[in-house]
Structure 1
Amino acid sequence: MKLVSYQTVPAQAPRLGLLQTDGTVLCLTSLHAGDARFASMAAFIAGGEEAFTQARRDAEAHRPGGAHEVPAGGYTLLTPLARPPLMRDWGTMTAHPKFFLEMRARQRAQASPDPAAALEAARLDGQLDLPPNWFTVPRFYTANPLNLAGPGQAIEWPAFAQKLDYELELAVVLGRTGKDIARERARDFILGVTLFNDFTARDVQAAEGQPAGKSKDFDGAYALGPCIVTLDELPDLYRLRVTSRLNGEMQTVDNTASMEIGFEDLIAYASRSCTLHAGEVFASGTFARGCGVETGRLLRPGDRIELEAEHIGVLENTIVQPVAGDTA
């Protein structure tokens, strides 16, 4: 199933639906009017296995042209899950963090009389290497779940930043609550998969000297969507082609086979002595060359950035100039 949140008119409360292959949406909210489990994505997730099973029956019984079908073009997709309880962003691949280690080493080397020799010395000293326990002790940062944008939503340039970037990531949404989850059971806790764009104010990030702080804390700092695809829709979670396009021009092509640690490992690790809650989001970290600082082209006002994943769809956002804030 491809689960979506959408609205047919502005200001309408988000509705829950199933995205069909022809672009129509089967509205579960109207199909089950009065059933609180189908009022929203969060309510659906809280509804547990019974709600999921009912949605599966609805998908199988659906016939085109039914009364609860919304035509393609007759709706606006929203972020599939508004205000998840928590979002964690992980480092499941090495290319992206290694790029930053080398970039910073090059910057330091420029202050030396012989930059090439200084960079080589840093390399020999292991300064360009990730910690040996990078995957046995996985790193993550927690992201602000109140700052989520959805597909097609304009991202307002943060007024405090000079350099804005995007990051191509995949994410899973948890469908169950649990603690001390064995890796062998971890997949059972995944509701589905979606795309995740981790926008970053690079100049602020450099000043902070850490992966995440105010550099990733502004309205629209994260985008999620366009849908949550259940695992049974995917031939192989770890064989999905992922791409990014800027103003229609391809920026990078990668594959989830690049992930050197899987979501199941992350769930097992994070759940040690810690309850994970249904609706939490686990993001993969950035794919190789999946951001502008790696390709050499940061974002500018007016840019359209598209992230795409095979069998999931396209997450598209446009960058707009900031507007005057509320000073009252």
Structure 2
Amino acid sequence: MRAQLTMVGKETHHKAIERVAEWLELSRTQENLFINLAHELSSVPDTNLTHFDERYLQHLENNVFSDPQLLGFLERSGIDPTVIEQFETKQIPYDEVYQQWNVIEYSINELLDLTMLLKLIKQYSDQSEKGLVDSRYRLQKLVYLVNRRLVKQERAERDTAPYDHGKLEKTGFRYTYRKRKSGPYSKNLRDDTYRLYASDLIDEKLVQGESTPEITEQHTRLEISLGASGRVMMGRFSEMMADLDTDVLSEWESAINAVIEEFGPMSIEEFHNYVNDIEDVRNADDRKLLIRGRQVKYDNELWRTETTQEGLSDA
């Protein structure tokens, strides 16, 4: 069973990288690489962009989309030379790029994963003074602590995997964590936040001049909240999930609730000190595997685009 959900995002330039990536119709792997490279090239400290407005689009045209590294990537990816020329000459047809509707196609498992991540964001936001998750750093570490809690809970039966996975073998987030400079870090979670943001499932507000220990938040901090589409999705599926009285969901949700209750009130500094003092983290070398996420593979392209609105339907 599959479901399609149409997301109507805010057509503002702060999503230009994701919109252009979708417009190119790259494979999911290539799209990830394009977005990551573009974000790396766009991180220029002296741009002094307070808001993602028309100046931000000009910055992307001048410093990102026409950059030789990105043009080389497009050529290696087999993009039509006439399209590459549009990047090089700064003539990308943004009207065409922005007119597309975002459609996410899910299996039931994918839908569950996504909804639980949005649920964590919502529950943390509900108890926080600002009504949001105050940084990508905090989101990364909250998800890590949820999965770590599930790893530490023994299952009644023996693990089928050749490693001690605890209850994370059957439930929890599918993100694998490694030790990085900022502590536990999941590249897959980072990539997913880009896509959630591009489809307005989450919103991110840039706060300049404030850093966190996160490798993607140097000289800036990104406040995360549910986007308009995320609020719609939570409204549609939260009640459905509440009716699913299963051990898998109850253990997952209990872990989320416990982590938010224990660590939600901490400042970023207190949170950072706690997480990095966890024995597994403290003793790990750089890039060492800390937690292997729930092992699941999806066989479809999660994020694709259509030019017509299809709404929510089963397929």
Q: TM-score range by the shorter chain?
A: under 0.3
- For normalisation by structure 2, the TM-score amounts to 0.27
The structure with the greater share of residues assigned to helix is 2
- Between the two structures, name the one with larger relative contact order (CA 8 Å, sep ≥ 6): 2
